A and B are shown apart, each in its own frame.
Chain A
Amino acid sequence: MEHLPLAIAQLASIEVLIAVVLGTLFGVFVGALPGMGTVVALVVALPFTFSMSSTAAIALLLCIYCSSVFGGSISAILINTPGTPQSAATVFDGYPMAQQGKADLALGWATVSSVFGGLFSLAILVVAAPQLAAFSVRFGQIETFALILFALTCIAWVSRGSTVKGLLAGSIGLFLAMIGPDTMTGMSRFDFGIDELAGGFSLISVLVGLFALSEVFYRAATGGEAGKAALLSMVGFRIAPWPEWRIRLTALVKSSAIGTFIGILPGTGATAATFVSYAEAARSSPRREGFGSGEPEGVVASESANNAVTGGALVPTLALGIPGDGGTAVMLGALLIHGIVPGVQLFQNNPEIMIGAFVTLFFANILMFFVGVLGAQAFTRLLRLPEPLLMGSVLLMSLVGAFAVRGNPADVIMAVAAGIFGLLLRLIRIPMAPIVIGMALGATFEQSLRQGLMLTDGSFLAFFQQPIALVILLLTALVISWPFLRAALRRCVAEGRRQ
């Protein structure tokens, strides 16, 4: 910590301050636009960093990274469209809250949870980065497989009432993830010889199609009545009273811990983290019956976890030079361009850069809170726009977002196709969330399974001989069988009483 004064001195320049403020504002804004996720925000900013000092460049990118993850929750809550894939789980409870006229409250829950998650993971990053990085590499393909399997149980929670339909949707999602390049063979699958499909579906275009475009189509088809409820929503920003928070404190801390932990594992991803966190909260919460219909705890679980991933993902990025997710991969590239080599050497050679990054992250999270409070005033007013205008802009932004991710015009067509598909699903009442869960997790799920089987020479039994994997697999089995177990337990108790 003897480098703290030097690091702060470096940060206390106009250039860095501007980078921090602009980066946070820009991140929240881009994150909130449907389709424009963290990676797009970072890529847009990347060329500007070439002419900056490395301290300012790192500050800018770190601020964008954190705040864009938070920004995603705004559109998830207000217009039923996650701004980033990481906020997909925020939709489950955030949007029902907005429909009940509690958009201001929902934004309050999301903002505070995001800031808490961000700071929680920062604390972990500062205290134990090298030790955790050493652990993270022990978490191999087999453990990843088990973890993703657990995350997939989330499908059950978001499709209550119609498990069969949920499983169907989840399978569609898993299948969509199989289209395109296959890492294990290098071949392109299910592309029917169409060049544009050789790269697979982009998660973002399917996401904006299923959520945003199908919403637009649906409202157009039903003459705009579907959205009436949201118009009554309160404008502004409101933080729920302390007793409300106190009973959800366990969920807040637990979700932050889950987010940080999964962030530390390179290649697992923030989206998986939110689903794991949501599934865990839904499993253990005393308010689990309300999940999916506007329970604030769902928003807390998702938003604290996805922001906690930021600090977690920086652990392997800074300590090993291995990026924890897509956003950190872009940042790593920027560091290399500035001649800074992340990894063990960074801790030894440039401690002031590390400390500077920590200080920046701290301020970024604090600033994010104020941007959330002030931004909510503007964002909630959006809902009072005449519906054709609001839906028109959603349509436009979604299509631009779908294109911007990979610069591929075919992605726009895929987004529209996903929108039409989403409309059909709404009409026959098949939940769409499981499709996104399946698709977001599908590639890692399949790849970790196949890599794991290659490592064990095709033995499934060996999966159960890894202690960490075994624990996660048992937990997964428990989650799946819990409803049956509980029913059985109740029967036993009831019989016991009768005797």
Chain B
Amino acid sequence: MMDRVPAVAVAALAAIFTASPAWSDYPDRKISLMIPFSAGGGTDVPGRFFAAEMEKILGAGIIVKNVTGAGGTIGATQLSKARPDGYSLGFMPVGTTTTQPHIRKTSYGRESWEPICLVAQGPLYVTVLEDSEIKTMDDLIALAKSGGVVTGGPPPGSLPHIAQAAVSKAYGVKFKYIPHEGINEVVKSMLGGRVTAAVWLGDAAQRFKLRPLAILDADRSAEFPEVPTLAELGHPVESHVWFGFFAPKGTAAKIVGVLSEACDRAVKTESFAANMKKAKRQTRYLPHAEFKDFFQRQFDRNGALLRELGQVK
């Protein structure tokens, strides 16, 4: 009993001293990866695939934490206030990081993050039901001119909402937009004949048998090679949903280095590619420096788009 007390003290002291330069042997304990949407959802699926690879490469356990609510801003707020020691990281989509800060008062913004790498993306498509009479963009626009197009999507200020507004503006027509909880509810409204069209990700088109009329990207996609880009149709509107890997601002450069190197390896593994393919998701990798630049441009551009829509408060 007597000699146990010093032993504990020594262990505690040792822990304090060895821990002092936090990054010297980073990572030496479990890392938490915050995903601001619920398990099994659009952000969670690529996030968990990514976490599984990072775990192997970093040699430290990664605990995925789904902190949900308010367009992902609850989780992002938590992460932005976390200690930047490399043990609190996040996997977040475009909306949470670049549109939400413009449409509501979030305590985080453009400068709250250390963007580490871009991991995945999905271009948006203009879609209608497969058995719909609308076969082309021209059909849709013709219907819109008679005032008959109802579009559905997530709450105003979300990326699909901005995108459908950009499309209607490019064509000079009006869509009646009905906000829904998410794609499931939108498809239900489409099947019930209450909503005509939705601007959404390609995997939803595959899942629900929707007909993509056009892709909002510079190039055609491998998933739907026969679907024209809006640029080909004369109205160059582009919009992507993307998913990136973030650390809170102030994370030591050395830790960011370790993470971005690991990220580079993770997205190139065969198992990651296989998982993404199985789940019909697109990998898009941008390394640290490029992603940082990309993130800031996206933040400013989405802010400008939202101001045009009158969504900025």
Residues in chain A within 8 A of chain B (CB atoms) = 39, 42-43, 46-47, 50, 136-141, 180-188, 193, 195-196, 198-200, 202, 266-267, 316, 320-323, 329-334, 336-339, 341-345, 406-408, 447, 451, 454-455
Contacts and interface: CB of A to CB of B under 8 A. Distances in A.
* A180, A183, A334, A343 — most chain B CB neighbours (10 Å): A183
B67 A455 contact: no
Contacts of B308: none
Nearest to A188: B104
B184 A323 contact: yes
B212 interface: no
Contacts of B132: none
A267 B208 CA distance: 17
Contacts of A202: 69
B305 interface: no
Contact of B207 (A188, A196, A343, A408): A343
B19 interface: no
A185 B279 contact: no
Contacts of A188: 70, 104
In order of increasing CB-CB distance, the 3 nearest A-B pairs are A333-B40, A199-B69, A186-B155
Nearest to B181: A183
Given A50-B52, A333-B45, A337-B279, A198 B184 contact: no
B206 A199 contact: no
Contact of B194 (A136, A141, A195): A141
Given A47-B48, A180-B70, A195-B77, A336 B40 contact: yes
Contacts of B298: none
Interface string B238-254: 00000000000000000
B70 A181 contact: yes
A323 B185 CA distance: 9
Given A183-B181, A186-B156, 6 more contacts: A183-B179, A188-B70, A202-B69, A320-B208, A408-B69, A451-B178
B273 to A, nearest CB: 13
Interface string B189-229: 10110100000000000111100000000000000000000
Contacts of A316: 188
Contacts of B279: 336-337, 339
Contacts of B136: none
A185 B65 CA distance: 28
Interface of B: 38-41, 44-45, 48, 52, 64-71, 73-75, 77-78, 103-107, 150, 154-158, 161, 176, 178-181, 184-185, 187-189, 191-192, 194, 206-209, 275, 278-280, 311, 313
A198 B74 contact: yes
Contacts of B70: 180-181, 188, 198-200
Contacts of A140: 189, 192, 194
Contacts, number: 158
Contacts of B106: 195
Contacts of B161: 186
B107 A195 contact: yes
Contacts of A187: 103-104, 313
Contacts of A182: 155
A319 B64 CA distance: 30
B194 A200 contact: no
* B69, B77, B78, B161 — most chain A CB neighbours (10 Å): B69
B34 to A, nearest CB: 8
Contact of B185 (A185, A267, A454): A267
Nearest to A443: B181
A337 B40 contact: yes
A343 B65 CA distance: 29
6 contacts: A137-B191, A182-B155, A267-B181, A337-B278, A337-B279, A451-B178
A184 B209 CA distance: 26
Nearest to A406: B68
Contacts of B52: 50
Contacts of B75: 407
B208 A137 contact: no
B73 A198 contact: yes
